[in-house]
Amino acid sequence: MSDDNPPSSQPNQKSFLDRISHFLTGEPKDQEDLLEILRESEENHLLDADALAMIEGVMQVSELRVRDIMIPRSQMVVVPRDGELETIFPLVIEFAHSRFPVIEEDRSKVVGVLLAKDLLQHVLRNKTLKVEDVMRPMSVVPESKRLNVLLKEFRTKRNHMAIVVDEYGNAAGLVTIEDVLEQIVGKIEDEHDDDENKDYISQRSEREFIVSALTPISEFNDYFSAELENDDCDTLGGLILQRLEHFPKKGEKVEIDGFGFEVLRADNRRVHLLKLKLK
């Protein structure tokens, strides 16, 4: 063999180095090209799996919108504007949230936010005060706002919660800074989270739902009176992977027993979030 010929392993190595070079000089052609470079970096032990998952999460945050992750108004834990502080203590203790939307008349009209720390401070002084006396202004964002823009606003304005409004200005749900960060780092558990009572399924409209890929198939079947088979896997994400026979990309769609699923968030290890549209 001529000395001028490179070893057989060199072309692959050079190809990988060339791709890294293109990445550093801003030459990847699109996001998928960049993701492929990053995944090759993980395969070559330049990135660990957790770092890659977070990078993918950061990139997906720029594509997701508030409507994709918000807590719908039907599931918001709220307090009435004219409620006396003493009367709402049982609710605050039960749910242990740090912030509660304040409503007027119904859930579509959110007029402020009550901080639990403010409640404690004022109730020790005057139990006859009403929620409206101590509530703070509520940040408002449209359903279509991108998550990366929202995260920047949360940081600059030092807010932790915002009410999501629809095109008519009515409250459609709420979103927190924790909801956004979980799209990057995964589920953030705290001492008040109950693993046995997770909200796996969130209804967005009459025919549309946002579903966690961790939803047990048995729970999905109970919720929708369905009969999805679960012999070989336990979760909906596992069933999606089984049907597709590959790790899906964001936007990929699959129909299972008449249920139309669209992947909202996934990385190279698992599916995270799904959109379900009923026919």
State pLDDT tens for residues 75-112: 888 999 998 888 888 888 888 888 999 999 888 899 99
State which of 3-17, 136-150, 172-186, 221-235 shows the largest mean pLDDT. 136-150
Provide the pLDDT for residue 23: 52
Structure confidence by residue, pLDDT tens digits, 39-64? 777 777 777 777 777 777 777 777 78
Provide the pLDDT for residue 145: 92
E strands, 27-156, in order: 71-72, 79-80, 99-104, 106-115, 139-142
Provide the pLDDT for residue 13: 47
Residue 234, classed as helix, strand or coil, is coil
What is the pLDDT confidence band of residue 196, given thresholds at 50, 70 and 90? very low
For residues 22 and 36, the model is more confident at 36
Amino acid at 27: E
Pairing status of strand 99-104 against strand 106-115:
antiparallel
Q: What is the rounded distance in angstroms from the CA atom of residue 196 to the CA atom of residue 190?
A: 14
What is the pLDDT confidence band of residue 136, given thresholds at 50, 70 and 90? very high
Provide the pLDDT for residue 188: 61
- The first and second tokens of residue 94, run together, are 């039960």
- pLDDT, mean over the chain: 80
For residues 263 and 128, the model is more confident at 263
Q: Is the pLDDT of residue 192 over 50?
A: no
Q: Helices marked H in the chain — which ranges?
A: 10-24, 31-43, 49-61, 66-69, 89-95, 116-123, 131-134, 147-157, 177-185, 217-224, 236-244
DSSP state of 249: P
CA-nearest of 269, 279, 155 to 226 is: 279
Please state, as a whole number, how many other Cβ atoms lie within 10 Å of the Cβ of residue 272. Answer: 23
Provide the pLDDT for residue 194: 47
Tokens 């249920």, residue located: 259
Interval 202-206 mean pLDDT? 80
**pTM for this model (two decimals):** 0.58
Q: What is the rounded distance in angstroms from the CA atom of residue 80 to the CA atom of residue 72?
A: 18
What is the pLDDT confidence band of residue 12, given thresholds at 50, 70 and 90? very low
Q: List all residues 6 or more positions away from 32 whose beta carbon is below 8 Å from its beta carbon.
A: 249
Provide the pLDDT for residue 18: 60
Interval 2-22 mean pLDDT? 51
For residues 264 and 164, the model is more confident at 164
Q: List all residues 6 or more positions away from 110 whose beta carbon is below 8 Å from its beta carbon.
A: 78, 101, 102, 103, 104, 138, 163, 171, 174
Which range, of 61-70, 198-207, 235-244, averages the lowest pLDDT?
Answer: 198-207
